């Protein structure tokens, strides 16, 4: 094995060693569970320093290709697969190892609104409350209701979009229920559904949204819930058109499924928001997140729509946390209504759109086509996912693997959070060239 590894390594830098070993792993020449040579064994065979091999090993471990087990040695790792409950960990396990980490799906801190004047203003208010006050500040409730994409029967505020999805799913989904999701979709949502014991049915997407034929077939299984991301879909960036939403609502009208919409990007999304609740308000629950637009540490999201679901969520919360911090709600209300932060979020929306469009256009110049038109992430097809991850990691670039996002495997992909790359200079264009090379673009175009 050592001789074969040495023969495969053409460039004896840390980057070259990592890329070569990554290709051997992806190609099956180094099967899962293979014990690799020690750092000293390989460095001696390659006539390079142990530090060089150690750096290559760190790169491979960061993208999940290998696993150090202390004195037992280092082994080729089996990636977590569907049903393991570890999809989100698979996406996030690499961060911290890269000079440029684009795996996170988080907003650019520099584009978040300035909280300092808002917090100072809120601190001068009288926010003393009692346990019997309404869970949602009345002024915030009125603002959210007026901005909702359809008249909600009920509305509440919880501790982030995933908290909302968790609480809603626990009301709607029972052990063994079938749940329809877009394929690909957000890994924590799949982890949650696995935890609840649901049978997940993945339905593909096209440029207009979820596939109508696929949805029609999935609805024959009588799902209890349909989970959709109506705009800036994570990871694809697809925004559902009004025509497609109307057709989806027509299909769903004949079912009993609760529709849960996750508008996670909120005010930084540039696409027009359409909601199934326009046609099915009594069976739709819409979630509006504020983490990406106003700051992850706000830990707030609004959920509104079908009273049967929202009332159950609110009642269950009363015997737990009760409500989300009204102090944070007051901060959020100011962020949503005062001209300063509103303008800052608008600037961020435009900038994110520019970054995404620039990157997609640059990829196209290298012969690589990405999906979608909206959001801070780009879904990029590659010839071999693991090889692409390793090659980019060897250059100090972290991206998310596509596999954890998929219910049904449909090719190899990477999710790249382009919203974190400044558009000044040529950083985006250089990144596009590196991604295209890692993607094996020649193979994709010629094939």
Assess whether pLDDT exceeds 60 at residue 79.
no
Residue 166 to residue 120: CA distance in whole angstroms = 33
Q: Which two tokens stand for residue 149?
A: 């994409």
- CATH architecture of residue range(s) 116-337: 3-Layer(aba) Sandwich (3.40)
Phi, psi of 48 (to 5 degrees): -125, 170
Q: Which two tokens stand for residue 418?
A: 């382009």
Rounded to whole angstroms, the maximal C-alpha distance in the chain is 73
Q: Which two tokens stand for residue 222?
A: 């009588």
* Residues written for the chain: 447
65 contacts 392 by C-beta, under 8 angstroms = no
* Sequence-separated (6 or more) residues with CB below 8 Å from residue 316: 167, 170, 171
Q: What confidence category does residue 363 fall into, taking pLDDT thresholds of 50, 70 and 90?
A: very high
> 301-340, pLDDT tens digit by residue?
999 999 999 999 999 998 888 889 888 999 999 999 999 9
> 143-176, pLDDT tens digit by residue?
999 999 999 999 999 999 999 999 999 999 987 7
pTM of the full predicted structure? Answer: 0.84
- CATH architecture of residue range(s) 2-76: Orthogonal Bundle (1.10)
For residue 174, what pLDDT is reported?
86
**Which among 96-105, 173-182, 343-352, 399-408 has the top mean pLDDT?**
343-352
* Bridge partners for 100 per DSSP: 397
Burial call 68-104: b when 16+ CB within 10 Å, e when fewer: eeeeeebbbbebbebeeebbbebbbbbeebbebbbbb
* DSSP designation for 43: H
**Which among 3-17, 264-278, 321-335 has the top mean pLDDT?**
264-278
The runs of H, that is alpha helices, within 307-338 are 307-317, 326-337
Assess whether pLDDT exceeds 70 at residue 88.
no
Taking phi first (over 0 means left), then psi (-120 to 50 degrees means alpha), and beta for anything else, what does residue 273 get?
A: beta
* Sequence-separated (6 or more) residues with CB below 8 Å from residue 357: none
Decide: residue 427, CB within 10 A, 0-12 exposed, 13-18 middle, 19+ buried: middle
The runs of H, that is alpha helices, within 281-439 are 291-294, 307-317, 326-337, 339-365, 385-394, 427-439
Report the CATH fold assignment for 87-111+341-446. Answer: 3.90.1150
Mean pLDDT to the nearest integer, 222-236:
96
Residue 413 to residue 84: CA distance in whole angstroms = 20
Residue where the block lists tokens 């074969």 = 4
Q: Where are the domains of the chain?
A: 2-76, 87-111+341-446, 116-337
* DSSP designation for 35: B
Residue 86 to residue 411: CA distance in whole angstroms = 20
């Amino acid at each position: 094995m050592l001789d074969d590894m040495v023969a495969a390594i053409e460039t004896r830098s840390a980057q070259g060693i990592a890329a070569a070993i990554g290709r051997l792993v992806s190609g099956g020449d180094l099967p899962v569970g293979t014990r690799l040579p020690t750092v000293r064994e390989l460095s001696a065979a390659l006539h390079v320093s142990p530090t060089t091999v150690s750096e290559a090993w760190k790169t491979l471990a960061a993208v999940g290709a290998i696993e150090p087990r202390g004195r037992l040695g280092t082994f080729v790792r089996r990636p977590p697969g569907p049903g393991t409950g570890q999809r989100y960990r698979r996406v996030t396990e690499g961060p911290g190892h890269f000079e440029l980490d684009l795996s996170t799906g988080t907003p650019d801190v520099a584009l978040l609104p300035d909280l300092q004047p808002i917090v100072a203003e809120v601190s001068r208010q009288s926010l003393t409350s009692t346990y019997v006050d309404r869970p949602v500040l009345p002024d915030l409730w009125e603002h959210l209701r007026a901005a909702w994409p359809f008249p909600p029967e009920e509305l509440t505020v919880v501790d982030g979009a995933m908290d909302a999805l968790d609480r809603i799913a626990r009301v709607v989904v029972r052990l063994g229920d079938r749940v329809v999701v877009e394929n690909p979709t957000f890994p924590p949502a799949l982890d949650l559904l696995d935890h609840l014991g649901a049978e997940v049915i993945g339905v593909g997407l096209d440029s207009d949204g979820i596939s109508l034929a696929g949805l029609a077939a999935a609805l024959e299984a009588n799902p209890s819930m349909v989970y959709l991301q109506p705009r800036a879909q994570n990871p694809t960036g697809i925004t559902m058109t009004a025509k497609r939403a109307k057709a989806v609502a027509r299909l769903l009208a004949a079912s009993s499924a609760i529709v849960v919409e996750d508008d996670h990007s909120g005010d930084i999304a540039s696409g027009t928001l359409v909601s199934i609740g326009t046609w099915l308000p009594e069976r739709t629950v819409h979630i509006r997140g504020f983490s990406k637009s106003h700051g992850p540490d706000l830990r707030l999201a609004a959920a509104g729509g079908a009273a049967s679901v929202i009332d159950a969520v609110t009642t269950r919360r009363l015997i737990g946390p009760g409500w989300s911090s009204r102090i944070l709600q007051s901060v959020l209300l100011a962020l949503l209504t005062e001209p300063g932060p509103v303008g800052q979020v608008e600037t961020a929306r435009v900038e994110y759109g520019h970054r995404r469009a620039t990157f997609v256009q640059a990829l196209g110049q290298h012969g690589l086509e990405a999906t979608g038109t909206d959001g801070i992430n780009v879904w990029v097809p590659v010839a071999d996912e693991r090889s692409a991850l390793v090659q980019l990691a060897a250059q100090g670039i972290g991206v998310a693997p596509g596999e954890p996002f998929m219910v049904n495997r449909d090719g190899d992909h990477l999710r790249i959070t382009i919203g974190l790359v400044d558009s000044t200079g040529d950083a985006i264009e250089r990144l596009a060239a590196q991604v295209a090379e890692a993607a094996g673009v020649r193979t994709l175009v010629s094939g």
